[in-house]
Structure 1
């Protein structure tokens, strides 16, 4: 059996270059304040090349007190909302010399906390959370001086937060339906414990108020537990004066509503106009879905930029950054007949 060749060490590099091991470390880590001559630097780098020396990442991180890695806690990477966020984070991280560790939490607070403890053990430099479920994670981050950036919610004053303008996005969607002549506009949504849900309800109500259309609580369908679009549609269509338009909390919910309506031979948009929120799968539906586009990639970019800024300067003021949304008009909306 062939004996496995031993990997070269920093001692080997030092011997070949004719310098001390600490000089090798100073050169490879670009240690600030250390005066290394160009000739010495050249000899060290040439020895590294000849020996094909690969520095030990763990040792380097201990020496530099940083791992050049950040973590992204995501609820579920299979959810079409999150891949663009992750891409934005990774693009900025890679450009700045950081790697990204992806952690799927499935929205489970205990798993979120376990990941946080694991990241502290692995000494990652910072964490971005795509919606924080467990505020114990926040307390732990503060206690251990771990920079933490939150995407969307909660809007904790002690952490940097990047989020989309849900109120304005919702407002523009409902305002557009009103401009098409719709006055009976339903909103189907989920548990309002989430600030995102509350903000979208607020935008919905404000658009009605500004148009002097009375708010009808029968047109607001909130599911506190399991969402059931079939129940919502049954209740809405059984009203004496049913809606002519529906604004859904998300694209996924809007698509479920469209499927139910199509099965009932209710035409979209001729009979009922539909608007979603997110712009994830909206251009894959028939008809294509009018929706509010969220800047998911830009949110990821901004979250990573804010985190890296804080790693460079921990004393920067806390930032809560609100990004704009955009109404994308497609085929699922039409003027009221």
Structure 2
């Protein structure tokens, strides 16, 4: 038997509880479906933060770092340094047991979970019982502080920009998804951009053509396959891509097929991490990546103390950056089927 006082001390993260007994109470709580509240550290208690990068749709890649995540990491490092807090970067995979083993010994006081994590990974992170903030995604099952960019509005603005230049046959290249409605839900940032695409078309009275939606895993090989399939099955005069890496890879495919950007097909990306260096320079939606990293750290250092203070999500605006990859639609504009 375990006394009510002991259970209370475990639930409140008191230190004067034997570890074996603490684990027994945790297991019992799990079986009853009760989640222990995370340990509430004050800013003075947080001396180390884990920057944990996860990607729900890239299960077989050990290195997930891209220019997009690197800029978020840079912002987090700057903010952590201002407060003399150590920031530890780790890539974590989809295996819940492995995540728990690796993190238990890390000695982290708080965690930034960045990217797109499965519920299993999120559960493993929350088992650390330390303050946790999400960056670039949210959880449907746990109320946690989060920092996002406004992909929904950004998707609308991007497509409205193409519509304003006369385009109506606008493809969406992104994913991952087994069909336009299914897998995209696993990555909230991509879902929001896709929904923005759909909303902009609907508001302009343009019917959504499923043939214009190309699924891929956002890696170069997947983008190549998706773009080639798109060229095979339908005509279009513009492409809205889920991120800049996708847009650059898609433009390479178009170039190999003799399709000119922007004379034949206009292309717009999202993120603004590679856009200025592409040929032609890519029109895109600029995401405030360093600010996302800084705010993620601030959310952890200034976590709400009272039980009535609920976690909330900060959504940062994105901005259209017009460069050279978008042009007015003309009678000659189109990507012909091959």
TM-score by length of 2: 0.73
Q: Please say if residues 89 and 300 of structure 1, whose CA atoms lie closer than 8 Å, have aligned partners that are also in contact.
A: yes
Structure with higher Rg: it is 1
Aligned to 1:268: 261
Aligned to 1:161: 146
* Alignment pair present for 1:89 and 2:76: yes
Segments of 5+ residues of structure 1 without an aligned counterpart are: 1-63
The CA RMSD measured in Å over matched residues stands at 2.5
Counterparts of 1:144 and 1:104 in 2: how far apart (Å)? 17
Aligned to 1:29: none
Q: Please say if residues 131 and 154 of structure 1, whose CA atoms lie closer than 8 Å, have aligned partners that are also in contact.
A: no
Counterparts of 2:91 and 2:239 in 1: how far apart (Å)? 32
Q: What secondary structure, in the 3-state scheme, does the structure 1 residue paired with 2:269 have?
A: strand
Match of 1:130 among 99, 114, 118: 114
* Alignment pair present for 1:249 and 2:204: no
Aligned to 1:118: 105
Aligned to 2:209: 216
Segments of 5+ residues of structure 2 without an aligned counterpart are: 1-42, 55-62, 177-183, 331-338
User: Deviation at 1:106?
Assistant: 5.2
User: Deviation at 1:314?
Assistant: 6.3
User: Deviation at 1:66?
Assistant: 4.1
Aligned to 2:291: 298
Q: Please say if residues 172 and 212 of structure 2, whose CA atoms lie closer than 8 Å, have aligned partners that are also in contact.
A: yes
Counterparts of 1:329 and 1:116 in 2: how far apart (Å)? 43
Q: What secondary structure, in the 3-state scheme, does the structure 1 residue paired with 2:196 have?
A: helix
Q: What secondary structure, in the 3-state scheme, does the structure 1 residue paired with 2:199 have?
A: helix
Equivalent pairs, count: 269
Aligned to 1:151: 135
Match of 1:319 among 312, 315, 332: 312
* Alignment pair present for 1:198 and 2:191: yes
Counterparts of 1:217 and 1:252 in 2: how far apart (Å)? 23
Aligned to 1:229: 223
Question: Which stretch shows the higher mean deviation, 64-73 or 92-101?
Answer: 64-73
Greater relative CO, 1 or 2 (CA 8 Å, sep 6+): 2
Q: Please say if residues 109 and 134 of structure 1, whose CA atoms lie closer than 8 Å, have aligned partners that are also in contact.
A: no
Q: Please say if residues 96 and 124 of structure 2, whose CA atoms lie closer than 8 Å, have aligned partners that are also in contact.
A: no
Q: Please say if residues 244 and 271 of structure 1, whose CA atoms lie closer than 8 Å, have aligned partners that are also in contact.
A: yes
* Alignment pair present for 1:279 and 2:263: no
